[in-house]
Amino acid sequence: MTSKVTYLGELRTSSIHIQSGTEIISDAPTDNNGKGEAFSPTDTVANGLASCMMTMMGIKSKDLDVDLTHSTAEVTKIMGTDPRRIIEIQVKLDMAIAVDQRTKLILERTAMTCPVLNSLHPNIKKDVTFNWK
C-alpha cells in the first residue's frame, strides 16, 4: 500500500504516506464548492509533474557533478469543462545554475522522461519551459 486517504468532511481529505507517515491535506477548490485552503487533488497532479521532473534531473545531476539546489518550478494548471478535467499543465523550470549546452540538453531530456509525464493522458497539453542562469 502506498497511502491511505481519509475523507474528513467539508470536501477535505487527509492522505497518509504509509512508508514515511507524511500527511497531505487536500481541499476542493473554491470554484468547485470547496474552501481552497489546501492543494486540490488536481493541483497535486500538476504539482507532481514538476516535482517528478526536478527529481529526475536531480538524480541525473549527481552523475554530472552538478548541484541543482535552489532551482524552482512554477506550475499552472488549467481546467476544462464537460467533463471537468485538467486540460493543460504549464511548468516553468528556473534552474539556479549555469551549465554548458551539453549538460542542459542531458538534464532537459532527463526531465522529459519523468514517470508522471509519461503517465498523464495524451490529451493533457504539457507546456514545459527551461530557464537557465
What's the pLDDT tens digit per position in 78-113? 999 999 999 999 999 999 999 999 999 999 999 999
Can you give the pLDDT at residue 3?
A: 98
Which sequence spans correspond to the domains of the chain? 1-39, 40-132
pLDDT for 32: 93
Residues in the chain: 133
Position 72 scores a pLDDT of 98
Record: fold of 40-132: GMP Synthetase; Chain A, domain 3 (3.30.300)
Tell me the three state secondary structure of residue 115: helix
Q: What is the pLDDT of residue 112?
A: 98
Q: Which residues of the chain have pLDDT under 70?
A: none
pTM: 0.94
| Separation of alpha carbons 51 and 43, rounded Å | 12
**83 in Cβ contact with 70 (< 8 Å):** no
Q: What is the pLDDT of residue 95?
A: 98
Q: What is the spatial distance between Cα 94 and Cα 82, in angstroms, rounded to a whole number?
A: 34
